[in-house]
Amino acid sequence: MHFDGLLIGIGAFLIIGILHPVVIKTEYYFGTKVWPVFLVSGLICVGFSVFASTLLLSALLAVLGFSLYWSIHELFSQEKRVKKGWFPKNPKKEK
């Protein structure tokens, strides 16, 4: 039996689930100006995925890397959701 696919699916689910609140909190405290952190982190993860010793680790690093890329898009979308009033605005954050 092969469990790699199942583990990759569980890992992808957890990665996406963890990054969702990270994006919300990041926008709340820092705004969209930190998007390069997500970009560099994604590049590092994707780069390491190429050199990973196992398929499972390679796949999970690639999923994390591309999820970090998607988080850049979500960070800017979150800013729009805050402007619409769907999420609270941080009163201490300066523009």
Is the pLDDT at 91 greater than 70? The verdict is yes
Q: Once rounded to an integer, what is the mean pLDDT over residues 55-69?
A: 97
Residues 5-34: b if buried by 16+ CB within 10 A, e if exposed: eeebeebbeebeeebeeebbebbbeebeee
Is the pLDDT at 94 greater than 80? The verdict is no
**HSE-CB of 54 using CA atoms within 13 angstroms:** 7
Is the pLDDT at 13 greater than 60? The verdict is yes
